[in-house]
Chains A and B, each alone.
Chain A
Amino acid sequence: MISNLQRENLPSGMSLKRRDEIYGYLFIAPQMIGFLLFVLGPLIAVFVFSFQDRNLLLGQITFAGIDNYQAMFKDALFTKTLQNSLIFTAGLVPLNVLGGLFIALLLSGNLRGMIFFRAIFFLPVITSAAAWAIVWRFLLQSESGVNTFLQAVGIDGPNWLQEPNWAMVSVIVTRALKGVGINMIIFLAAIKNIPQDYQEAARVDGATGWQVFRRITMPLLAPAVFLVTVLTIIGALKVFDTIFLMTNGGPSNGTMVLVYYIYYQGFQFFETGYASALSVVLFLVMFILTLIQWQLRRRFVFDEQE
């Protein structure tokens, strides 16, 4: 078909443009179909489903109005889930952002062995979340790695994964260790982008190392810190595999977070209508966070630059 078009219109100037347009549509067609099928369609569907009473096994579907949303307000486990997601995020973000910044600052400035240490902190990033969670679940058993380590320095460690609060601490730290390497990399790139002249000029003017850091390095890193913070919050709200493999949301729902609750309602209780309403909540939170992220990205253009 295309070659026909080509032959028909070859002499005229329009033909080239026309042919090009067709190539354009052809090139993007698979992605656009995928977008309609796997992104836009399901997104509309999740809103529709959230107003329905649905059951995955029984298959009956009835219009339910805002029942699912009303049920959320009465659902104590949902309240608990939101609290847990908030605690998880509030715990993970400082560890991951400040930890990543701290490590990046330690590694900056032509440190000998930098590549070696960078590799160490990056190892968990390329290790699958499943493997990482399984290893830490083992290390956090009452008589296992972490506690034998603590015992050596005279501390009696708790049974980490069996007590709700310690279980939350455990999944936060496990996840933080897994992801801090990515933040470190972003911060290292941001530090490298700071023109050396600024710091040198300040030193010539007699600024101390701390003053240079406080007045020049830090303000120039601020946009990167904000961007990484938002990315880490988004990542924290999506957490699933670590919790599924380490605690199954337990003990006593102590680590039940939003995505896990969607899975739990949708695929263990087959309440897909209610799970869809929960998904809408997740969507709205993500939507707001992403808008913030884009605003920040405009100011701190990281991957778009040459």
Chain B
Amino acid sequence: MNKNSLHSGSSARWQMPFISNRRLFALLKYFFLILVSIPFIFPFWWMFTTSLKPISDVFGQLTLLPETWLFSNYIEVFQFQPFALHYFNSVYIAVLVTVLTLIMSALAGYGFARIRFRGNSLFFVMLLTSLMMPIEVTIIPNFYLIQSLGWTDTHLPLIIPSVLGPQGIVATFMMRQFFLSFPDELEDAARIDGLGRFGILWRIALPLARPILGTVAILTFLGSWNSFLEPLIYLSNQNLFTIPLSLRSYTDSYGYPLWNIQLAATVLSVVPMLIVFIVAQRQIVNSFARSGLKG
């Protein structure tokens, strides 16, 4: 723990001839980092290699690479069930939820932060209460509501309650925080130039809000993409499935998992996310750092 060797001359006595304490400390750090990394990397490697194995080779051997590369597993993914359709469902729902959430939360966040109207803070405090309530608490009454709206076995319950319910409110909260710090002078200048509220929001506020819009977009997309409980209870028609539901359906007629094909499908669902993450790591990490809200 002697990081201070540069500062205090006295610790020089304790240094080994070739490796300084500082070096040793760094080496120790790397040793632990690599050790701790194993359970984070290993599942991805195992998932990938198993997805290329024949089912007979799936268990019982510690090999770095498959002995036979069975690319046909990846074809079977699509033959077994309409995986491409499930993929499309997940993508279009996540994109739609993200776009609608951006619009709604920008409007509401801007309204709460910049416009004075009677009940502003009262309404906002009301919204805040929903931050303390995970969707799991109201899943029973929400099911009755969706049923009475005739929305079961449609994608609507995966879209509308996400945009306008608790997740959308979290987004509104984040947008409001951003717009609160927005300089008054800019708005005043825009008004003198004859811009109305929509004009100010669209031309002045939103372009400046790009970082927070990015954050909201990333968290919303991932939230929708990963959602499991709602599709599970609202969807029974297999053609409407999203990826998380689809992945668990790779079983044989006895309900026993078709491991290699299931893992091939999992690889296909994970890889685009990993690529996006590698490209936009900083932006994504910052988004999560900004939202201590996400439980």
Taking beta carbons and an 8 Å cutoff, which residues of A are in contact with B? Answer: 17, 20-21, 23-28, 30-35, 37-43, 45-46, 49, 56, 102-103, 106-107, 109, 111, 113, 115, 117-132, 134-139, 141, 143-145, 148-149, 151-152, 173, 177, 182, 185-186, 188-189, 203-204, 206-210, 212-213, 227, 231, 234-235, 238, 240-241, 244-245, 259, 262-263, 266-267, 272, 275-276, 279, 282-283, 286-287, 290-291, 297, 302-304, 306
Contacts and interface: CB of A to CB of B under 8 A. Distances in A.
Given A35-B169, A279-B140, A123 B292 contact: no
A302 B58 CA distance: 46
Contact of B108 (A27, A102, A121, A138): A27
Classify the interface of chain B: helix, strand, loop or mixed: helix
B141 A49 contact: yes
B277 to A, nearest CB: 5
B123 interface: yes
B155 interface: no
Contacts of A124: 40, 43
Contacts of B59: 141, 143-144
Contact of A231 (B127, B169, B233, B295): B295
Given A135-B46, A303-B291, 16 more contacts: A24-B116, A32-B123, A107-B33, A122-B277, A128-B225, A130-B247, A135-B43, A145-B42, A149-B62, A189-B289, A203-B4, A208-B4, A227-B292, A244-B228, A262-B140, A286-B137
B269 A128 contact: yes
Interface string B229-255: 100110000000001100110000000
A173 B4 CA distance: 36
9 contacts: A24-B111, A27-B197, A40-B126, A46-B137, A121-B40, A145-B46, A231-B292, A240-B228, A276-B141
A144 B257 CA distance: 14
A238 B138 CA distance: 12
Interface in B27-72: 29-30, 32-33, 36-37, 39-44, 46-47, 50, 58-62
Contacts of B118: 21
Nearest to B107: A27
Given A39-B133, A152-B62, A304 B244 contact: no
B2 interface: yes
A225 B32 CA distance: 21
B117 A130 contact: no
B161 A119 contact: no
A134 B248 contact: yes
A130 B228 CA distance: 8
B16 interface: no
Contacts of B210: none
A103 B34 CA distance: 11
Nearest to A111: B29
B263 interface: yes
